[in-house]
Chain A
Amino acid sequence: MDVPIIELTNIVKSFGPVDVLKGVNLKAYAGKVTALVGDNGAGKSTLIKGLAGVQPYDRGEIRFEGELVNIHTPREAARLGIEVVYQDLALCDNLDIVQNMFLGREELDFGTFDEGLMEKEASDTLRRLSVRTVKSVRQKVSSLSGGQRQTVAIARSVLKKARVVVLDEPTAALGVAQTEQVLNLVRSLAQQGVAVIMISHNLQDVFAVADYISVLYLGQMVASVNAADTNNDDVVGYITGSKTYAGVPA
């Protein structure tokens, strides 16, 4: 197995007397989708916030391509190429797709926007991700469906040349067809060589796209398995704590 892009070892995080993460390990590989599952309160969000630099861990090692790194601020995470697509999508309804994708890093030419260049890069990125549902990159985001918004939010992270993309519940609140679109997008994202970490409650979605499944249970990583080597019942067992994983972590 190659060196993982992200390797977390023995991550500990407490809020006062409450130990939320009690020595968690997690690996994510380039070109692979790692699903992070677990019940409410298992510590998924806390794990992700540390990776994003929003809420640094108390203790533990973070290795980026084998190198020991510190992530204390969102800026440091961004510099490493770690992008988080949050559940409440961070898009501006009144701006169009191109403007949203380039928000905060517009291409300038003599101090003013190079709209042509941004439009080209935006549509290239969407095309590379095989997005077929968006008619025009100059559509206002307010006119998009939930799935299309999720698409724009994910495409935005790719535009940043992200190495690791964390998706927080990307299919929550989506219909069947739109869920399908987003899952396809997650696949093509991985095919770009990005390490995808996907948080989800929906095991059907997880088995549809994930290469690895990591299960958090009360602040501990109770299982890290190849998706091909396990099944729905086992994973439900790990999530609820009724089964114990016996194998070697993948």
Chain B
Amino acid sequence: MTTTETPASTSDAAPSPGMSDLIGSGQEGTVVDQIRSWLQRVRQGDMGALPAVAGFVVLSILFSLLSQFFFTPLNFANLLTQAATLVMLAMALVFVILLGEIDLSAGVTSGVAAALFVVLSNPSGFNLNWILALGVSLLFGVATGTFIGFFVSRIGVPSFVVTLGLFLGFQGLTLTIIGAGGLYRVQTPEIKAIMNSNMPVWAGWVMLAIIIGVSAATSFWDRYRRTRAGVPNRNITFVWIKLGVILVLGGTVIGVLSINRSQSIIPISGVPIVVPITLFILWVGTFVLDRTRFGRYIYAIGGNAEAARRAGVKVVMIRWTAFIVCSSLAVVAGIFSASKVGSVDAAAGRDIVLSGVAAAVVGGVSLFGGRGRLLHAAIGALVIAVITNGLGLLNLPAGVNFLVTGGVLILAATVDALSRVRAGGTLIRA
């Protein structure tokens, strides 16, 4: 790490008197110094979602060249809604993957929840109020997470085994709820709207304004607290860069989605409703993981559970809660899926869980625990969605999609393994 510069001359917050230049905080230095030390971290293997972002860009360019339909507003909106379910499920899985655990039942949990929802809310089913039905589905998620968490954290059964058991069992549960060969249409307009309706164009811009406002507020709040404590702040240029990137990227996305993308007379424009929902959950989850004890302890347990225990962390409760969060977010993914597909059948959610794990890994979340962020999983899910979307446009056989996705996953895992070696880990070739 390059942090030998004297903080006083280069940071805009005055360091406290007697602040030694012997121990830095990594926030000192000019913009150039900071970028240089970041590049050094990247070279040492701390790459985060960088490979996934690069993959997303490369694949997007490739498909744009191969298909003239790829880079159109309509396909862009399609891509977002196609990706949303996987993004949600991958984010759910991050909470347990960070612990070094796995939830193989997240997919079928989402399936059972969706089945519960349609059967409870449909006129041909129990004709319940849709909010009540949604509440029951979420409760089912909480109960499932509680069940898994009990066996994993209290009894000590490996999560792989417990959730594999549920993976098998819940397929039967969905089958029982829906009925063999059955299929329920989603008839709740509010749920159908998630994937199939768009916000008014102005609401998209308001959303961007809120995102920038919240981002700026947290950045300056953090800087205020650092200044108050008397530690140096990173050069303020980085706040402007960050806000600028959000403005340009977000502006481009919303701009594209504001164009009429309809192929018929009725115009279609605006940001799909699923986008703000997903972004909100991403923001809350990231806030919890980065800034609260619960989040920090998830990382600590993933890094060294014994150290966390000795430090007084209630390891059992944190693990347990993480499984509840995972299953609950999986329910949201199930509702997304039901909205997208428009119906729920007996096989709902059966095939998606491994794609979710793959998305997290492609995004740079380590299966060994302790490393990764929600945003990484979301980006990984977008990469996989781009592959599916692009290959679909090229009219390639479905088998190719699986082959390419699998190849990308192995590639991502290889990049992760090699970067860990560079970061000081050991490569055991046996």
Among the listed stretches B134-142, B224-232, B322-330, B337-345, which one makes contact with chain A, having 4 or more residues with CB under 8 Å of it? B224-232
Question: Is residue B181 contacting chain A, with contact meaning CB distance below 8 A?
Answer: no
Q: Is the pair A94, B303 in contact by a Cβ cutoff of 8 Å?
A: yes
Q: Is the pair B25, A136 in contact by a Cβ cutoff of 8 Å?
A: yes
Taking the nearest CB of chain B, how far is it from the CB of A239, in angstroms?
29
Complex interface: chain A residues within 8 A of B252 (CB): none
Q: Is the pair B25, A123 in contact by a Cβ cutoff of 8 Å?
A: yes
Complex interface: chain A residues within 8 A of B229 (CB): 114, 116-117, 119-120
Q: Is the pair A136, B227 in contact by a Cβ cutoff of 8 Å?
A: no
Complex interface: chain A residues within 8 A of B371 (CB): 94
Q: Is the pair A112, B291 in contact by a Cβ cutoff of 8 Å?
A: yes
Binary interface encoding of chain A residues 82-105 relative to chain B, with 1 for a CB under 8 A from any of its CBs, else 0: 000010011111110001100111
Contact of A91 among B291, B292, B304 (CB under 8 A): B304
Question: Is residue B313 contacting chain A, with contact meaning CB distance below 8 A?
Answer: yes
Contacts A93-B303, A112-B292 known; A143 to B424 CB distance under 8 Å? yes
Complex interface: chain B residues within 8 A of A127 (CB): 20, 22-23
Taking the nearest CB of chain A, how far is it from the CB of B309, in angstroms?
8
A186 to B312, CA, bound (A): 24
Complex interface: chain A residues within 8 A of B306 (CB): 90
Binary interface encoding of chain A residues 112-145 relative to chain B, with 1 for a CB under 8 A from any of its CBs, else 0: 1111110110010011000110111111101100
Question: Is residue A61 contacting chain B, with contact meaning CB distance below 8 A?
Answer: no
Contacts A103-B313, A142-B424 known; A92 to B291 CB distance under 8 Å? no
Q: Is the pair B311, A137 in contact by a Cβ cutoff of 8 Å?
A: no
Contact of A119 among B4, B22, B25, B370 (CB under 8 A): B25
Q: Is the pair A105, B312 in contact by a Cβ cutoff of 8 Å?
A: yes
Q: Is the pair B3, A113 in contact by a Cβ cutoff of 8 Å?
A: no
Question: Is residue A111 contacting chain B, with contact meaning CB distance below 8 A?
Answer: yes
Question: Is residue A106 contacting chain B, with contact meaning CB distance below 8 A?
Answer: yes
Within 8 A of B (CB), among A44-82: 78
Question: Is residue B293 contacting chain A, with contact meaning CB distance below 8 A?
Answer: yes
Question: Is residue A109 contacting chain B, with contact meaning CB distance below 8 A?
Answer: yes
Taking the nearest CB of chain B, how far is it from the CB of A86, in angstroms?
8
Contacts A120-B16, A120-B231, A142-B423 known; A136 to B1 CB distance under 8 Å? yes
Residue of B nearest to A86 (CB): B310
Complex interface: chain A residues within 8 A of B230 (CB): 116, 120
Complex interface: chain A residues within 8 A of B226 (CB): 115-116, 119
Q: Is the pair A104, B313 in contact by a Cβ cutoff of 8 Å?
A: yes
Residue of B nearest to A105 (CB): B312
Complex interface: chain A residues within 8 A of B308 (CB): 92, 103-104
Among the listed stretches B60-68, B255-263, B294-302, which one makes contact with chain A, having 4 or more residues with CB under 8 Å of it? B294-302
Q: Is the pair A135, B1 in contact by a Cβ cutoff of 8 Å?
A: yes
Complex interface: chain A residues within 8 A of B311 (CB): 90, 103-105
Counting contact residues on chain A (CB < 8 A from B), the size range is: 35 or more
Q: Is the pair A92, B304 in contact by a Cβ cutoff of 8 Å?
A: yes
Binary interface encoding of chain B residues 260-304 relative to chain A, with 1 for a CB under 8 A from any of its CBs, else 0: 000000000000000000000000000100011100100110111
Q: Is the pair B225, A92 in contact by a Cβ cutoff of 8 Å?
A: no
Within 8 A of B (CB), among A134-163: 134-140, 142-143
Complex interface: chain B residues within 8 A of A139 (CB): 1, 26
A interface, CB within 8 angstroms of B: 78, 86, 89-95, 99-100, 103-106, 108-109, 111-117, 119-120, 123, 126-127, 131-132, 134-140, 142-143
Contacts A116-B225, A143-B424 known; A136 to B24 CB distance under 8 Å? yes
Q: Is the pair A138, B225 in contact by a Cβ cutoff of 8 Å?
A: no
Complex interface: chain B residues within 8 A of A143 (CB): 1, 44, 423-424
Taking the nearest CB of chain A, how far is it from the CB of B62, in angstroms?
34
Residue of B nearest to A126 (CB): B23
A93 to B25, CA, bound (A): 18
Contact of A138 among B26, B292, B302 (CB under 8 A): B26
Of the listed residues B4, B25, B226, the one surrounded by the most CB atoms of chain A closer than 10 A to its CB is B25
Complex interface: chain B residues within 8 A of A120 (CB): 16, 229-231
Complex interface: chain B residues within 8 A of A103 (CB): 296, 300, 307-308, 311, 313
Residue of A nearest to B98 (CB): A94
Question: Is residue B222 contacting chain A, with contact meaning CB distance below 8 A?
Answer: yes
Q: Is the pair B304, A90 in contact by a Cβ cutoff of 8 Å?
A: yes
Q: Is the pair A132, B22 in contact by a Cβ cutoff of 8 Å?
A: yes
Residue of B nearest to A114 (CB): B225
Q: A119-B231, A137-B26 are in contact. List 11 more A-B contacts (CB 8 A).
A: A99-B296, A104-B313, A109-B225, A116-B225, A117-B228, A120-B230, A123-B20, A132-B22, A134-B23, A135-B24, A142-B423
A111 to B225, CA, bound (A): 14
Taking the nearest CB of chain A, how far is it from the CB of B396, in angstroms?
40
Complex interface: chain B residues within 8 A of A92 (CB): 299-300, 303-304, 307-308, 370
Complex interface: chain B residues within 8 A of A131 (CB): 23
Complex interface: chain B residues within 8 A of A104 (CB): 308, 311-313
Within 8 A of A (CB), among B155-206: none
Ordered by A's residue number, 19 sampled pairs between the chains whose C-beta atoms are within 8 Å are: A78-B312, A91-B304, A92-B300, A93-B303, A94-B371, A103-B296, A104-B308, A111-B292, A113-B292, A113-B296, A114-B225, A116-B222, A120-B231, A123-B20, A123-B23, A123-B25, A123-B231, A138-B24, A143-B424
